[in-house]
Every structure is written in C-alpha cells, then in structure tokens.
Amino acid sequence: MKKKILKALLRIFMGWIFLWAFLDKLLGLGFTTEAGKSWLAGGSPTTGFLKFATHGPFASVFQGMAGNIFIDWIFMIGLLLIGLALILGIGMRMAVSTGSLLMLLMWLATIPPEHNPIVDEHLIYVLVLGILKIYHAGNDFGLNKQWSNTNLVRKYPFLQ
C-alpha cells in the first residue's frame, strides 16, 4: 500500500508541476510570470524562456521560436493536458511521451545546464516520468483502468 501511495503522489506532484506552469503562464500568478505578461494579458508564454534562458549550441534554433503563436499554443496545450493526465492518472503513455519530449527539448535549449555540466531537473523529470510509466502509476489512485476501458481508448490505443 505504501508503494501505491508513493507512486500516486509522485504522479500527482509531477502533474502539478506541468499544470502549475500552465496556470502561472496563463494567469500571470507572479511566480515565473508577472501578471502583465500572462498569456491572457497578451504575453507570450514561450518568449521569456526561449529568448532569454537558452544558451549553448542550439540556442539560435530555440530563440527563433520565441513568441511564435503556434509554439505558444502547442506549449500551453501540452502543459495543460500533460498536467491533467498525470494528476488524473489517464493517458499515461501519451503524457509520459509528450512530457518527456518537452523536458528533453527544454534541456537541449540550455546545454550545458547552469549548475551541472550534464544533469539538471529536466532530465530528472524525464526519468521520473519513465518510472511512472514502467510502474503503471496511473492505476494507483488514478483513473487509468476506467480510462483504458472506454470505447475511445479501445479504438485509439495510443491514448492510453
């Protein structure tokens, strides 16, 4: 029972990391996004990171994406859906894949990481997401079993 609780908490906390980033960028709650720069206030949720935090060999590629409306929408939809999927324990395959891709791209945008020559929180998050998938954490106090039995998921198994 302790393992199930730990897996569920790890899944929910990882989901909250994504969902919180979405909410802060959407509403400008003042943590990483000031109120006047929120998405709802007309700001770009990707510009700050892509324009000012990127460095290393791929910086120009990422900086070129800053403020692109398509990138903004994909990023925000991704944060929202990944966060909700992890918190609810549904669509774990998709949430882990897309969440890991997002974290790897953010890691690539900052090579080398600021406080360590190789490893930063983005890679740790990829590992945590992988652990959640391998140990079927969506089944522990989550809705994955019910989600997997829906007609939609049976028809489109990639949504698991």
State residue 114's pLDDT score: 84
How far is the C-alpha of 128 from the C-alpha of 134, rounded, in Å? 10
Nearest to 148, CA basis, from 160, 138, 136, 156: 160
Q: CB–CB of 126/104 below 8 Å?
A: yes
Express each pLDDT in 60-96 by its tens digit.
999 999 999 999 999 999 999 999 999 999 999 999 9
Decide: helix, strand or coil at residue 91. coil
Whether residue 117 is preceded by a cis peptide bond, meaning omega within 30 degrees of 0, is: no
Q: What's this model's pTM, rounded to 2 decimal places?
A: 0.94
Express each pLDDT in 95-113 by its tens digit.
999 999 999 999 999 999 8
Q: CB–CB of 105/131 below 8 Å?
A: no
Domain ranges of the chain: 2-159
State residue 95's pLDDT score: 97
